[in-house]
Chain A
Amino acid sequence: MKKRILLGGLLGIVLIGGIVYAADHIDAPAVTGGTTVSLGNDITDIYAFQSPTDNTKMVFVMNTQGLLSPGSSGTTASASFPSNVMYEFNIDNTGDNVEDLVIQCLIQNGKMRVYGPVAPGTTGLTSTVKTSGPMTEVAVTSYSAASPVSATNTNGIRIFAGPRDDPFFFDLVRFKEILAGTAGGFHAGTVGDPATDSFKGTNVMSIVVEVPKTLLGSGASINVWGETKSK
C-alpha cells in the first residue's frame, strides 16, 4: 500500500513537472532518488564511438541525472557528482559478456580521477578501486565555465566531467500516448503536425573518457556497458 502511494506520488510529480523518462532516464525505482540510492546513480545513456579527431582512439560517454533544467535557479546549477559513487565503464574483449577491463571514475572535491583501463579485481556487482593501471585526473567543469576543462595523461587517455546538453532525442511524450492508446501513431514532423524532442533544453551530468584502442584489446570488437556503484 505504501509502495502504491509512493508510486502514485512519483507519477504525480512526473506528470506535473512534465518530466519524462526514456533512453534509460529514471529507468527503475531504485535509482530515481528518494531511497538510499541517490539520483546521481541514474545513468541516462551510454555512448561508445571512434574518436572523431583521432581514429586510433575510442570515446566512451556515460551520462547521468537526466532532465536537469537550465538557468541559475534550475537543477543543473545545483547538480553534482556524488563522492560515494563509482562510474564504471565495463569492457569485454573476449566475447563472453564478462568484463576483462574496467575504467573507474571517481569524483571528490571538485576533481575526477579515472583509473584504468585495468583488469578488475573481481568481475560482477561489486568493485574495489584498481589503482595499479593508468590514472588520469581533471577538474570537474563547472556549469558557469566558458569552455570545458579536459586533461590528458601520458598514456594518451583524455577525460572530462561536468554538465552538458543531453544529446538524447525522442518524442517520448507521443510514444507514451501511443502506449496508452490515446494516439495511433507518431506526429508526422511537419509544420501542421510537429514532433517534439522531449529532452530539448535539458542537461545531464556527463563523463567522457577517450582511450587509445591499443589499451582496450587486440581483437576486432569489444562489448561495452556502464555501471554506477556506490559505497
Chain B
Amino acid sequence: MIRINKISAVFVVLLAIGVVSCDKKDNMTDSFDTSGTYTQNDQMARPAVNTVFNSSADKNSFNTTIPSAMNAAFQAKFQARLLALYPGYTTNALTQTAAQLTTLLATDVLNVKLNGTTTFYDGVPANTLSGRALADDVIDVELLLIFGGPTGTSNAALTSDHVGANDKAFPGTFPFLAAPF
C-alpha cells in the first residue's frame, strides 16, 4: 500500500512537472486524454447532399441535425431545390417521385449491406445504395437520378461529368486508399 502511494506520488510529481520520459510513458497505464465532452461540428454520409441541396442558410444546421430529425427539417426544402434544378422532373430511373427521392436523400445516412456487394450503384438494381466503395462514380449516379428522367436517358448533357475514375489507382490492400501526391 505504501509502495503504491509512493509510486502514485512520483507519478503525480512527474505529471505536475510535465516531464515524462519515454520509458515511464510506456509503463503508464494510459497517457491518452479521454476526458471531456465533444460537441458536433460536421456530419456526412452521402456525397454532395449538403453541397447541392441545402441553401447557404441551412448548411450549418444540416451538419448539426441528428439523422432521425433530418427528414422533418429538410425534405420539403430538398424537394423545392430538386424542382428548381430540374423543373421537368417527373420520376427517375429508380421510379422515384420528387418526394420519394428527396425523402431518401434528406436523411443523410449511408445504407450499407452486411452481406455481399457494397456499392452506391453498380448497374445491378439489387445492389443499389448498398454502401459506398472507393471507385463508385457517385456523382454520375446522383446526376442520373436528378436529371435522367424515368429511363435515365433525359438531359444527356447533364447526367455524366465524364470523369469516371480517380486520378490514382487504388491499391488492393489496406488502407485501400492511394498514397498522397
Contact = CB atoms under 8 A, between A and B. Distances in A.
Contacts of B112: 48-49, 58, 221-224
A203 B167 CA distance: 11
Interface of B, helix, strand, loop or mixed by DSSP: loop
B40 A126 contact: yes
Contact of B43 (A21, A208, A225): A225
Contacts of B164: 169, 189
Interface stretch (B1-9, B10-18, B30-38, B88-96): B30-38
B4 to A, nearest CB: 22
A26 to B, nearest CB: 9
Which of B44, B118, B135, B137 gathers the greatest number of chain A CB atoms within 10 Å? B44
A153 interface: no
Nearest to A37: B41
Nearest to B173: A53
A143 B116 CA distance: 34
B39 A230 contact: yes
A57 to B, nearest CB: 10
Interface residues of A, number: 99
Contact of A202 (B36, B131, B174, B181): B181
A178 B175 contact: no
A138 to B, nearest CB: 10
28 contacts: A24-B51, A28-B60, A31-B42, A47-B133, A48-B131, A48-B132, A49-B132, A50-B116, A50-B131, A68-B180, A92-B109, A126-B40, A129-B38, A150-B174, A164-B177, A164-B179, A170-B163, A188-B162, A189-B164, A195-B162, A195-B163, A216-B114, A219-B114, A224-B109, A228-B41, A228-B42, A228-B43, A231-B39
Given A150-B174, A186-B158, A221-B112, 14 more contacts: A27-B50, A27-B63, A28-B62, A48-B132, A50-B116, A53-B172, A70-B181, A167-B170, A167-B177, A197-B166, A225-B43, A228-B40, A228-B42, A231-B36
Interface of B: 31-45, 47-51, 56, 59-60, 62-64, 66-68, 70, 107-119, 130-135, 137-139, 155-158, 160-168, 170, 172-181
